[in-house]
Amino acid sequence: MGRDKASLDWNGRHAVDRLAELVASLGISDVVTAGAGDHGLPSVVEAPPRSGPVGGIAAGLAALGRLGCERALVLAVDAPTLTASDIAPLLNSGPPGAAYEGLHLPLVVDLAATRIDVEPGWPVARFIGAVGLFRPPCPQGAALRLRGANTEAQRQELLAELASRP
């Protein structure tokens, strides 16, 4: 979208703040963001720089491992309208974790499964396959929220959906 998606306004709150509130509501206390920008949360930068989304994921998983975490929930900042029920099937998946069929994020992964040689520029789908994540279908009615917003039109559609929630 040509802007920092993490700081975009979503009905009065930044995208990254909405996601941080969601994970906190799930009882997840260790949160790490990946990428540029200071959003008031611990953050990591992919190594090597510009190694793409998998580089950011790998850096975040390594940081969580150093904190003693055994499992990670990986979210995309462009999908800040997710609900707890949207990601519950992933959180309840068995080892090594899961990502919805046809989508790259969100995903849940056991950190022990990520001890693979990730190369810069890997597509997220390759990471998912290498780790062996289970690929369940998306929950009914959640695809729009799970897919997130890569264009302003998609963002407006999600904002309208968010405004219609009770």
CATH of the domain at 129: 3.90.550.10
Tallying the residues shown for the chain, one arrives at 166
What are the contacts of 38-46 at 24+ separation with CB within 8 A?
A: 39/6, 39/7, 39/14, 41/16
pLDDT in tens, the chain (166 residues): 667 888 888 888 888 999 999 999 999 999 998 877 777 888 888 877 777 889 889 999 999 999 999 999 999 999 999 999 999 999 999 999 999 999 999 999 999 998 888 887 889 999 999 999 999 999 999 999 999 998 999 999 999 998 888 7
Number of domains present in the structure of the chain: 1
Euclidean distance between CA atoms 114 and 18, whole angstroms = 27
Determine the pLDDT at residue 1. 60
Question: pTM for the whole thing?
Answer: 0.92
Question: End-to-end CA distance of the chain, in Å?
Answer: 28
Domain boundaries, position 23: 5-163
Euclidean distance between CA atoms 47 and 101, whole angstroms = 28
Cβ contact 109:61 at 8 Å:
yes
